A and B are shown apart, each in its own frame.
Chain A
């Protein structure tokens, strides 16, 4: 797992409001402006959910390609940024399922489902570096990391996360508590 290095906060200006409908009609220049306005937010959720910069950049590309393909179906019922964010989460979660199937085929093991076992916190990727929350998140087991990022960073409700992940809201709450406990442990080491 590579670290999601803290970088500069986004300073990209918002795209003009009419760029989305233009892009939906096939205007690639408008879509590039849409990309530049939203890439940091999409990348942020990707990198925090997968904990790997390189994979997150690949997934960010996938998100925008998928966005381009689906854009004509965007009806404007929700804000575009909300729609795109949900699309990004779905791409990451679908990737998780693909990865689980791949691992199951090749190694005969299921994905880390992150039950409430006493699984140890993974070793820090770069020993000796001072810890901050960003690095601590990257050390979480995959399931706990996804729930923590979706709830505490991105602001989804337990019910919404439960629907996305196919678990109950109660299971989501338990997973979140575990994630916070693991983070506290790492941050106070």
Chain B
């Protein structure tokens, strides 16, 4: 831009540009971003320190923490057939920046689907026992939301597994199953450590 440009412009012209900019309409993405966002939702940050914990709460929280620690390193797997090497997820904690399922579950080496599901089911059962034990300590509305979300995730797991059964070579479907399980475990871990009255 040269000096002539700068000097010849009327201030009103620039104000018109500014006024038009303020009236620009909102824009929409080219597609629905929600499915990808939903797949990436993990634990939420805690709002505040936990007040008034009783010893039983501490024990439960400790048990939940130990369970998380004990299972964090569990290798769980999703086997696929076909040309791709079957895959194993080493961590059930999703990456917040993961752009694909492989990133989200940490794909490595193969194992059997049955063994994977058995491992996951054991972990879920342990978490469920803790949640059941804490049910009365939680706000009934929280319990209702929790159960509704778990039901949604269970449906997603069932649908993903059914799709995978129909197309066992699909790497995409295998990772969808892994993601659904990851969501469930994350939600259950959060629920297991919720402060009383929440």
Interface residues of A (CB under 8 A from B): 4-10, 22, 24-29, 31-32, 35-36, 39-41, 43-44, 47-48, 53, 56-58, 60-62, 64-66, 68-73, 118, 121, 133-134, 137, 148, 152-153, 155, 177-178, 180-185, 187
Interchain CB contact (< 8 A) of B42 among A27, A29, A69:
A69
Asked whether B29 lies within 8 Å of A60 as measured between CB atoms, the reply is yes
The segment out of B31-39, B50-58, B116-124, B170-178 that lies at the interface is B31-39
| 14 chain-A/chain-B pairs, Cβ below 8 angstroms | A4-B27, A7-B28, A26-B142, A26-B145, A27-B145, A28-B41, A35-B33, A44-B26, A53-B29, A60-B33, A64-B33, A70-B44, A118-B2, A184-B13
Interchain CB contact (< 8 A) of B27 among A7, A68, A177:
A7
Asked whether A187 lies within 8 Å of B145 as measured between CB atoms, the reply is no
Asked whether A57 lies within 8 Å of B145 as measured between CB atoms, the reply is no
- Kindly report which residue of chain A lies nearest to residue B99, judged by CB atoms: A58
Asked whether B1 lies within 8 Å of A44 as measured between CB atoms, the reply is no
**Residues of chain A lying within 8 A (CB to CB) of residue B26:** 9-10, 40-41, 43-44
Q: Bound state CA distance, A9 and B23, in angstroms?
A: 11
Q: How far is the CB of A43 from chain B (nearest CB, A)?
A: 5
**Residues of chain B lying within 8 A (CB to CB) of residue A4:** 27
How many residue pairs between the two chains, A and B, have CB atoms under 8 Å in the bound complex? 134
Asked whether A65 lies within 8 Å of B148 as measured between CB atoms, the reply is no
Q: Bound state CA distance, A7 and B30, in angstroms?
A: 9
Chain B interface residue count, CB cutoff 8 Å, equals 45
Q: Does residue B69 face the partner (Cβ distance < 8 Å to A)?
A: no
Asked whether B149 lies within 8 Å of A153 as measured between CB atoms, the reply is no
Q: How far is the CB of A83 from chain B (nearest CB, A)?
A: 14
Asked whether B45 lies within 8 Å of A29 as measured between CB atoms, the reply is no
Asked whether B27 lies within 8 Å of A69 as measured between CB atoms, the reply is no
- Kindly report which residue of chain B lies nearest to residue A22, judged by CB atoms: B145
The 7 A-B residue pairs whose C-beta atoms are closest, nearest first, are A152-B21, A72-B47, A9-B25, A40-B26, A180-B14, A10-B26, A7-B28
Q: Does residue B9 face the partner (Cβ distance < 8 Å to A)?
A: yes
Q: Does residue B100 face the partner (Cβ distance < 8 Å to A)?
A: no
Asked whether A28 lies within 8 Å of B149 as measured between CB atoms, the reply is yes
Asked whether B27 lies within 8 Å of A184 as measured between CB atoms, the reply is no
Asked whether A133 lies within 8 Å of B21 as measured between CB atoms, the reply is yes
**Residues of chain B lying within 8 A (CB to CB) of residue A178:** 1
- Kindly report which residue of chain B lies nearest to residue A36, judged by CB atoms: B34
With A69-B44, A72-B44, A153-B22 in contact, is A182–B14 under 8 Å at CB? no
Name, among A10, A24, A27, A60, the residue most crowded by chain B CB atoms within 10 Å (CB to CB).
A27
Chain B 159-192, CB within 8 Å of chain A: the 1/0 string? Answer: 0000000000000000000000000000100100
Asked whether B24 lies within 8 Å of A43 as measured between CB atoms, the reply is no
Asked whether B6 lies within 8 Å of A32 as measured between CB atoms, the reply is no
**Residues of chain B lying within 8 A (CB to CB) of residue A22:** 145
Q: Does residue B96 face the partner (Cβ distance < 8 Å to A)?
A: yes
Q: Bound state CA distance, A28 and B184, in angstroms?
A: 12
With A6-B27, A133-B21 in contact, is A39–B38 under 8 Å at CB? no
Asked whether A10 lies within 8 Å of B40 as measured between CB atoms, the reply is no
With A28-B149, A61-B33, A65-B41 in contact, is A152–B22 under 8 Å at CB? yes
- Kindly report which residue of chain B lies nearest to residue A53, judged by CB atoms: B30
Q: How far is the CB of B122 from chain A (nearest CB, A)?
A: 24
Asked whether A180 lies within 8 Å of B38 as measured between CB atoms, the reply is no
